[in-house]
Structure 1
Amino acid sequence: MIPQDKMVRILADIHTTESIIEGNVMYPDTALMVFNQQQALIFERYGVSKEQFKETYTYYLNNLKQMDALYETVVDTLSLRETKANPDKGSEELSQ
């Protein structure tokens, strides 16, 4: 099973990749092809196989309290990434 901290980073990367592809690729079949390629690169970067990811994800699906905790951390990670990518966004919201 993939350790929780690594799973958080993988899921955050996957969700970031999905968002980028959805915003830039118009055709669903092309988007799926690009996503599958990018997902394979994410797995390679973290040194996990697609099977290991599926097995770990299935574990979390069968343990929903742990899945909720995992995704709380994923959402926090994505929020932090967004803040780092758009540092002026937070100060603009405060001034309105």
Structure 2
Amino acid sequence: MKRILYLLSFVVLTGCGQSTEKRPADLLPEQQMVQILADVHIAEARIETNVLYPDTALMVFNKEQMQILADHGVEEEEFRKTYRYYLNNLAQMDKLYEIILDTLSVREAKLRSTDTTGAPRPQPPVPILEGMKQAY
């Protein structure tokens, strides 16, 4: 969650120097990008909580990100192209992250409302890279 706030702060602070490029038609729809980035940030938080070593965390995160893109039916290059557009148009990125933060808040509220005991929910385990076991 800290990284989201840092990224959002960066976006707001650098928003003055954005370009006014028109949004190309071949980018991912905004709502799909919101859902993907919300899932990516949830995965990142889960990995940060459960994985101790940075290099292992990066490998697990990359695998998780590829799985998220596959779940959404998006190619990595489509995602990267859309993300680059938002990096070059920081006002649009700022608006996108406002929606992402709202989406994450709604997801959190839904999770809290289904937990009637008040006890913290156990985190799902971070999958170990199966391919790494075979490589060594």
Are residues 1:23 and 2:66 paired? Answer: no
Which structure has the highest helix share of the two?
A: 1
For normalisation by structure 2, the TM-score amounts to 0.63
Q: Secondary structure at the match of 2:52?
A: coil
Does the C-alpha gap of structure 1 residues 24 and 55 become closer, same or farther in structure 2, counting only changes over 3 Å? same
| Structure having the higher Rg | 2
Name the structure 2 match of 1:56.
Answer: 82
The answer for unaligned runs of 5 or more in structure 2 is 1-26, 119-136
The answer for unaligned runs of 5 or more in structure 1 is none
**RMSD, aligned α-carbons:** 1.6
Ranges of 4+ aligned residues in structure 1 off by more than 2 Å: none
Q: How many residues in Structure 1 have an aligned counterpart in Structure 2?
A: 90
Are residues 1:80 and 2:106 paired? Answer: yes
Name the structure 2 match of 1:39.
Answer: 65
Cα deviation digits, residues 55-75 of structure 1 (max 9, x gap): 000101111111111000000
Cα deviation digits, residues 3-37 of structure 1 (max 9, x gap): 00000000000000000000011111111111111
Q: Secondary structure at the match of 2:74?
A: coil
For normalisation by structure 1, the TM-score amounts to 0.88
